[in-house]
Amino acid sequence: MRNLQKPGVIIAGLVLLAALAAMLVPSLFATHDPFEGVAADKLLPPSESYWFGTDHLGRDVYSRVVYGAYLSLVSAGAAVLVGVIVGAIVGLISGFVGGKLDFVVMRFVDVLIAVPGVLLALIVVAGLGFGPWSVALGVGLGAAGSFTRIMRSQVVRIRNEEYVEAARTLGVKWPSILLEHVLPNSAKPVIALAALELGTAILAVSALSFLGFGAQPPTPEWGALVSSGRDFVATAWWLSIIPGAVILVVVLAVNRLARLIGEER
């Protein structure tokens, strides 16, 4: 509890709360319509009227950043959820069954981890088509290997515990042993890893959107906003720098809180 009083943790918590609020109710925070621009106000620098400036179509960059929080955070959260579900299930079964199945699964996981996550996500997106949910699925599958490995290591340790052996001796069926004994006692490290992976997922989703594989114009998304300002960096730095700074701040906040979860664990 003492860690919760540290200034860094408090600031990180406030940043994450602000990002979540923008994701859930963007209309309360946006100052302009994120889709409609004013031609006469294009490429204006940050000011009292336009806090983050305007883009080449006269749209308010601040409002687009606010509305972009939804796709950026939800896609990253979905990616982590996919990784946790797939990795936990595979690791749970592999570690509990053991033997040849465990050997084959872990060799496959080794190969999966060796492939860069962004490359795997690109393969998935190429197969399913462009879009934020294809990106989320690809990023999630890329992260599944890490979740499989940590879940499997916990299960291998726990399956030999006395209470698991006692349950087997009493004739408890293995699905019940997995769900009632092994899974609950293996979940904490996976949860801590999920918190750490959320920051990585935000970066990965933003990177793929930057490359044009995620949200398509005019839908606001943080990585896409950074990409849309590339051609104007010399004359309108705010188009890319400010959304990029938002991504950086949110990822740092998520990682700081994830470290706290790991320390408490």
Domains and CATH numbers, the chain: 2-264 (1.10.3720.10)
Q: Kindly tell me the sign of the dihedral angle through the C-alpha atoms of 183, 188, 191, 197.
A: negative
Q: Kindly tell me the sign of the dihedral angle through the C-alpha atoms of 228, 78, 95, 156.
A: positive
CB 232 within 8 A of CB 141: no
153 to 83, 92, 194: CA distances (angstroms): 16, 9, 16
Look at residues 218, 251, 169 and name the one whose alpha carbon lies nearest to residue 63: 218
Helix (H, G, I), strand (E, B) or coil at 114: helix
Asked if residue 218 has a cis previous peptide bond (ω within 30° of 0), the answer is yes
Sequential pLDDT tens for the chain (265 residues)? 556 667 778 899 999 999 999 999 999 999 999 999 888 999 999 999 999 999 999 999 999 999 999 999 999 999 999 999 999 999 988 888 888 888 999 999 988 888 888 888 888 888 888 888 899 999 999 889 899 999 998 888 887 777 777 777 777 787 787 777 788 888 888 888 888 899 999 999 999 999 888 888 888 999 999 999 988 988 899 999 999 999 999 999 999 888 877 665 5
**What is the amino acid identity at position 148?**
T
